[in-house]
Structure 1
Amino acid sequence: MTKIYLGFDDTDVVGAKIGTGRLVRMFERKLPDGARLWGALRHQLLIDPRIPFTSHNSPACAVVEVADEALVPELVARAVAHIAELASDGSDPGLCVARETDDLSEIVEFGLSCTYEIETQERARAVAARAGVRLLGLGGTNDGIIGALAAVGLTAYGWSGRFLEYGRLRRLADPISVAALAEAGIESVAIDREACALAPDALVSTGGWLSPRLWNGRAVAPVERVNGRLVAIGKRPRDAEVAD
């Protein structure tokens, strides 16, 4: 199986019911036979008043596994149609599509730069062209190509972002054992002062909202001990952010 990265950005406007993160999650339903969603990730870019963004400047990336790379043109066509169907009027959507086997080193650098610098469409197009990846502006000012390329770069980097979708993520029990999380493909890592190894039968409270991070290319749940309980960080109400 080969991983294909599809970066989406700027598909919504203020007050939209479907934010970019949710739009990316919904793309799973549009995947062709022979493709499966490995995960969907939200990334955080620079917040700066000089940057036009809807609410949080947070692009998203769908990581899709394909048995045959001949499916990539179909994935691109379906992603373009998905954006055309669900992006908000007045948005400036962008799409980036890359294979994990591409040389993504400059795209990774671009993605990291977007977390602390203001980047431009011109540089995004130049970086994508040198890497030989698809970068499509799909409406409005096309500013979404910047975040779409950054989302691919940060996902390929492997140490950025949090999962919006990952297997049974949204159907996991609360609390849930460390062993059960591992069976779901999610590693539990203690981040408190002691940073102890966690026993397989230890229970982790998620508050109904588990937010694994992408660490070393894997889904990891950071856990801390609070009043004697193991608590996964990142609890938020499910409707707290339209992008999710």
Structure 2
Amino acid sequence: MFYLIGIDGTDSPSVNGGEDTASLGIRLGLLLQERRFGRMLAVTRHQLLRRDALPFTAENQACCLLMEADADARRDIELTSREFILRQSAPASDPGFALAAWSNLSAAVDTWGQQAKYLRLQRDAAMQLARAHDISVAGFQGNGNGVIGALAAVGLRSSGNDGQFAWLPGLESLKGTLTLPALLNYCAIDRVENLRGRTPFDRDLIHLGEAPVVLLRGGQSLLLLHSCAGEDVNQWRVYSPVELAEVAP
């Protein structure tokens, strides 16, 4: 089975330089793998409502882990996740947790995720939606509102059209300049193309920089490129985060 673990609100504006929510999520996934409860397939980060009035959070970014696990491992995944998030979240944070079987989700959960990007939602509504879809949720510390963003992360991930990958197998190896076959050998990204859908030829050079941003679009991982001048072969480079905000918001 495929499970989605949503996490939100583990950071705090009062802790400068603290660990962001996606980094904590990656550590949780590695722990679940180490204990053999399942296999981590991906971690995505999702931007929720940007608003100074929102308390307890530094950037209001949630994350979602995609795990493959047997149905009888669900309780172990839930208990381990709850304990880990509670212990590892920053002081004065308002962390939340959501665990969903992907097969139980509906468009209503996806819609919740989209609304959380633009509206200030209520905890009671999150709890009601979670119960209707057999989603385990919990809020720790603070006022318990972390469940709002945790559930939103699940919805945004299941929609397949939001956010960026914080972790994929081999993603950390993508840097410098590579050909497309070499790139895919390091990290099996679904689509490597420009805005018109053109894919580099095998001999083309792709300049990745130090930390290329891989998007979640159409339910797939997408590395967007644009061409740059080259002498002997076609050359490509990735978009910077600022550029991506313009071309693929």
Give the TM-score normalised by the residue count of structure 2: 0.87
1:64 maps to a residue whose letter is M
* 1:216, distance to aligned residue in structure 2 (A): 1.7
1:41 to 31, 41, 44: 44
Comparing 150-159 and 171-180, the one that deviates more = 171-180
In the other structure, the counterpart of 1:90 is 92
Query: Which residue is equivalent to 1:104?
Result: 106
Aligned partners of 1:208 and 1:235 also within 8 Å? no
SS of 1:13's partner is: coil
SS in 2 for 1:167: coil
Distance in 2, Cα, partners of 1:87 & 1:62: 16
- After superposition, the C-alpha distances for 1:36-82 in whole angstroms (9 at most, x for unaligned) are 1101110011212333352221101111111x111111111111111
CA contact (8 A) 1:16 1:88 kept: no
| Amino acid aligned to 2:141 | G
- Give the match for residue 177 of structure 1: 179
Task: Output the amino acid matched with 1:152.
Answer: V
SS at match of 2:224: strand
User: Alignment length, in residue pairs?
Assistant: 232
Q: Measure the CA separation in 2 of the matches of 1:10 and 1:212.
A: 23
Measured after TM superposition, the shift of residue 176 of structure 1 is: 2.0
Partner of 1:189: 193
Q: How far is 1:235 from its partner?
A: 5.5
Segments of structure 1 that go 5 or more residues without pairing to the other structure are 237-244
- Residue 168 (structure 2) aligned to one of 166, 169, 174: 166
Instruction: Say if 1:21 and 1:34 are closer, same or farther in 2 by CA, change over 3 A.
Output: closer
Q: Which of these residues, 41, 62, 65, is aligned with residue 65 of structure 2?
A: 62
- Which residue is 1:120 aligned to? 122
Deviation digits for residues 155-186 of structure 1, max 9, x if unmatched? 00001110010001002342122223334211
TM-score by length of 1: 0.88
In the alignment, the residues of structure 1 paired with residue 46 and residue 4 of structure 2 have an alpha-carbon distance, to the nearest angstrom, of 13
Question: Which residue in 1 is equivalent to 2:9?
Answer: 10
Contact 1:102 1:131 in 2 (8 A): yes
Question: Which range moves more in the overlay, 91-100 or 217-226?
Answer: 217-226
SS at match of 1:59: strand
Identity rate, percent: 24
Q: Quick one: higher RCO (CA 8 Å, sep 6+), 1 or 2?
A: 1
- Cα distance in 2, alignment partners of residues 55 and 129 from structure 1: 29
Structure having the higher helix fraction is: 2
Alignment partner, residue 240 of structure 1: none
- The 2-side partners of 1:98 and 1:131 are apart by 8
Question: What corresponds to 1:52 in structure 2?
Answer: 55
Q: Output the CA distance in 2 between the equivalents of 1:49 and 1:173.
A: 34
Match of 2:139 among 128, 137, 140: 137
Residues 37 and 76 in structure 2, CA contact (< 8 A), matched pair in contact too: no
CA deviation after TM superposition for structure 1 residue 209, in Å: 0.3
After superposition, the Cα gap between the structure-2 partners of 1:34 and 1:97, relative to the gap in structure 1 and judged at 3 Å, is closer
